[in-house]
Structure 1
């Protein structure tokens, strides 16, 4: 996919204009306190550019899923407005509404360089206690209404780029001019560099629980990579396809034939584990190490030491590495060794372009202190996964061309 023809912030004039900016402020909250403000920090370059260039800035975001009126009590963006004001070092006006006269008046009274954040866009998914999904199902009247509030639309929320929501596609389709924010622009450039124009050898590392979650990725990447290293729960569906015993390990019985097909198609490109760290129950206990076969009564919960060695050897000398999905149950202290080792090996590669496709892998790398050792860590797990599948991203498709 080539999104280089899409307008970016540098292609539009914003002075004196009301600029609607879809950001991704879907931050973790505990008792109303933000526990990680990375997503707020990631939006700052776009917001500061608009402030500096005299725009009237209207920010909006979702926060979690809203399934009931009760959810609204704990999922307001009010704490985000407070934190944003601190890191932006200027006043951020918060409007606790998603539509109506209070919001419209506040937007009309904005001066150049001022910033306003309005309430969680997904509050529109529940009306009077009824689940209507106006935002997440892109209700035409909602996208049209939000578009009427400004002159220009900027999409800087990569985390929702794979969805057609009222707050991205709905607005884009109803406004004269739209552009990508700096964060989304960087995401597209980096994913393109890693997946579409990789320097070789190109090695992909795929983990996670299910083959079904990664079918599209495997399919697409097999045409591009030199090797795919497979770990995580999805390993055992492949091992079953090869006729190995897998004990009580995670298995997608209906995907065994598909796994066989991929192994044949791969022609040696798919590298599977040669041993596993196992346990008799899904619990953080001392591991038992098994070879290619997992005996009855045991389940594989991580790649084993021989596989770690094998994967390190396969990664040595790689010039492009794309990683998506943990190698085991990395939240268990006894079963995180595989994920840690793969993370360290990729992070320490010299003169290589290393990319993490968001989600659990990104969380693991950041937690382990390797944030600055990767070329790029995506902010959107679902969107980067869809990009890896070679599928279009509706939130970006809808943006104006240059």
Structure 2
């Protein structure tokens, strides 16, 4: 695979840097930006000119990225201008006018509906910003979008160290292991069910669903979850959950008997078969057998990860997450937190991966669409 570290960069070379700076305007957690600073410096120190493409939010609710440009300016020690355009002749002209050793951040790629469906015409307009692609943005490596997989149909790509570090970091948590293994899947994104629940239940001993994953599992078991969040593609996720629950030889999946629910500031603990209409699940109550499994992990060691918060932690519903994190931080336990929101919300001093869905995709398949596109090269990337 082409690696940026092996590529000779000459003064004046024009680069598109495909980044994953999907961070909130309050910059509460800048890990996804900071991870890519050394790769950006590699190009800039060699005299390259860098047009940075990134996203934040989703189409229809996409913020501008001037806050990211300001943070990049501070970290790189040189001005990173913010250019609102990203797919126009004017944007291409401004990219071409960059001085050697300078960078500009172009507008939010998710402003365009074609970004997330990998529109070829949009990808070609993005590709006009440079002559080669530095492939960063591991957090979106599982998504075939115009600004990563799409531009690689036109331009040669080189994988950054930030992406390679993520794949190396994830290796101990991939596939089967002789070590006792517990996985926590939460949050609101569909890949936690569609990819995570399906793949992890094949190789881990215990899977603890939380968030939308838990709500989907409860629906699959016939429970009414009231006003609980169901995320994107609830019916598709429901089909996957039913398939996993019906599979033999899978992980033991923790289905709580009781959950904490909330409505308009009121809070109750109820049985999963008694969730009132209009109330939403905010946390789960660990069953005795799960507490025993956590005790086994603490006493005997093993591996564990959290991909998505298992509860509405930021709103004060912390019981299950605190119990899980206490066990995962014990000596002899190799534990990892995955995903920007997970890392930002939960108190954790151990290893983290900036990719949530991307990390799950890599754990499931050993690769990601953007890595496959780099291997295939221009003209053929899927």
Q: CA deviation at 1:360?
A: 4.5
Give yes or no for contact 2:110–2:116 (8 Å, CA) kept in 1.
Answer: yes
Q: CA deviation at 1:223?
A: 2.8
Which structure 2 residues correspond to residues 35-50 of structure 1 after superposition, within 5 A?
Answer: 35-50=28-43
Give yes or no for contact 2:220–2:241 (8 Å, CA) kept in 1.
Answer: yes
| 1:168 aligned to which of 148, 151, 154 | 148
Asked which structure has the greater CA Rg, the reply is: 1
Which structure 2 residues correspond to residues 106-117 of structure 1 after superposition, within 5 A?
Answer: 106-117=94-105
Cα distance in structure 1, aligned partners of 2:189 and 2:49: 45
| 1:187 aligned to which of 166, 170, 174 | 166
Pair 263,98 (structure 1): closer, same or farther in 2 beyond 3 Å: closer
Give yes or no for contact 1:233–1:300 (8 Å, CA) kept in 2.
Answer: no
Give yes or no for contact 2:176–2:203 (8 Å, CA) kept in 1.
Answer: no
Q: How many residues align?
A: 368
Cα distance in structure 2, aligned partners of 1:108 and 1:185: 29
| 2:115 aligned to which of 121, 125, 135 | 135
Give yes or no for contact 1:14–1:50 (8 Å, CA) kept in 2.
Answer: yes
Aligned to 1:222: 201
- TM-score normalised by structure 2 residue count: 0.80
Pair 10,271 (structure 1): closer, same or farther in 2 beyond 3 Å: same
Pair 199,121 (structure 1): closer, same or farther in 2 beyond 3 Å: same
Aligned to 1:382: 357
Pair 337,143 (structure 1): closer, same or farther in 2 beyond 3 Å: same
Moved more, 36-45 or 266-275: 266-275
Give yes or no for contact 2:22–2:57 (8 Å, CA) kept in 1.
Answer: yes
Aligned to 2:81: 93
Superimposed CA distance per residue, residues 201-252 of structure 1 (whole angstroms, 9 cap, x where no aligned partner) = 2222234579995154233223322332344565576568779x88869698
3-state SS of the aligned residue for 1:265?
A: coil
Superimposed CA distance per residue, residues 31-55 of structure 1 (whole angstroms, 9 cap, x where no aligned partner) = xx64543332222121122222332
Aligned to 2:15: 19
Aligned to 2:4: 9
Cα distance in structure 1, aligned partners of 2:33 and 2:264: 35
Residue 288 (1) aligns with residue 257 (2): no
3-state SS of the aligned residue for 1:113?
A: coil
Moved more, 134-143 or 40-49: 134-143
Aligned to 1:320: 303
3-state SS of the aligned residue for 2:110?
A: helix
Moved more, 193-202 or 149-158: 193-202
RMSD: 3.7
Give yes or no for contact 2:32–2:340 (8 Å, CA) kept in 1.
Answer: no
Cα distance in structure 2, aligned partners of 1:217 and 1:322: 11
Cα distance in structure 2, aligned partners of 1:135 and 1:357: 24
Cα distance in structure 1, aligned partners of 2:191 and 2:44: 44
Give yes or no for contact 1:311–1:342 (8 Å, CA) kept in 2.
Answer: no
Q: CA deviation at 1:118?
A: 2.0
3-state SS of the aligned residue for 1:106?
A: helix
Superimposed CA distance per residue, residues 296-333 of structure 1 (whole angstroms, 9 cap, x where no aligned partner) = 75976423265463352243234221222333333442
3-state SS of the aligned residue for 2:81?
A: strand
3-state SS of the aligned residue for 2:47?
A: coil
Aligned to 2:92: 104
Give yes or no for contact 1:222–1:266 (8 Å, CA) kept in 2.
Answer: no
Residue 157 (1) aligns with residue 137 (2): yes
Give yes or no for contact 1:22–1:61 (8 Å, CA) kept in 2.
Answer: yes
Superimposed CA distance per residue, residues 240-278 of structure 1 (whole angstroms, 9 cap, x where no aligned partner) = 8779x8886969899889767645635473142554244
Cα distance in structure 2, aligned partners of 1:101 and 1:264: 54
Cα distance in structure 1, aligned partners of 2:343 and 2:64: 26
Pair 276,88 (structure 1): closer, same or farther in 2 beyond 3 Å: same
Pair 288,34 (structure 1): closer, same or farther in 2 beyond 3 Å: closer
Instruction: List gaps (5 residues or longer) in structure 2.
Output: 378-382
3-state SS of the aligned residue for 1:185?
A: helix
